[in-house]
Structures are given as structure tokens and as C-alpha cells.
Amino acid sequence: MIIEDLIDMNNASVINTGKPTYQQYDGSRSHLDVSIVSNCLAAKSNWGALNNTLGSDQCPTVISINERQLFSGQLGPPKFKLSKADWRRFKGIFNEKLSAAAMHDDTIIV
């Protein structure tokens, strides 16, 4: 009941379809995963679970949100010209940020 109350209080919806996501050692299956989105995204969301556990006891879940937005008058996300990227500068900035983060958190795995 606590989860249901939180979902209601936050204007959210569960988008699971009822397909099981956990396979027990005896082959039986259960529903362990819960995918929650805001009510305004629920009608635009699709939820699925892959049939292949990929060697785990969990089936990967896939959530997609089918929302078309306008970006600068065009449909779809912006397009980038990767051939014009300054990769050396990008790498330098990335390494600086990573080093700064590593000084504050020793759990970073690179």
C-alpha cells in the first residue's frame, strides 16, 4: 500500500504490462521490477521485458517514451557534426572533470 500511495500522491503511473521479469532456478517466473513514470508520460510510454536473461536471473526491461518534440523548428533531436568536434579539447575537459570528481569520491571506476 505504501508504494501505491506514493504513486497516487505524485501523479504517477506504473507502466509494466504484466510480463514477468525474474526467472527462478526452477524455471518459474515472477514480477520483480516496477517501472513508474509521471501521468503525463504514461500514455506515451512503452514497456517491455526481453525474453533473454543474458545469463542472469533477471530479464532486462526496455522503456521507451514516444514523444515528438520540436527542436529549432525541426522534428527530432539536434544533429551534430562530429567531424568538426575538437576531440583534443573534449578529452582535456573530460579528464579535468574526472580528476576533480575522483578527488571527492574514491569509488570511481575507470
pTM of the model: 0.54
Cβ contact 41:65 at 8 Å: yes
Give the mean pLDDT of 23-34.
85
Is residue 26 scored above 50 in pLDDT? yes
Greater pLDDT, 90 or 105 = 90
Which residue, among 58, 5, 8, has the nearest Cα to 32 in the 3D structure?
A: 58
Categorize the per-residue pLDDT at 108 as very low, low, confident or very high, splitting at 50, 70 and 90.
very low
Predicted local distance difference test score (pLDDT) of residue 79: 73
Cβ contact 58:20 at 8 Å: no
Q: Which three cell numbers stand for residue 15?
A: 507502466
Is residue 1 scored above 80 in pLDDT? no
Min mean pLDDT across 15-29, 43-57, 68-82 is at 68-82
What's the pLDDT tens digit per position in 40-67? 889 888 898 888 777 788 888 888 888 5
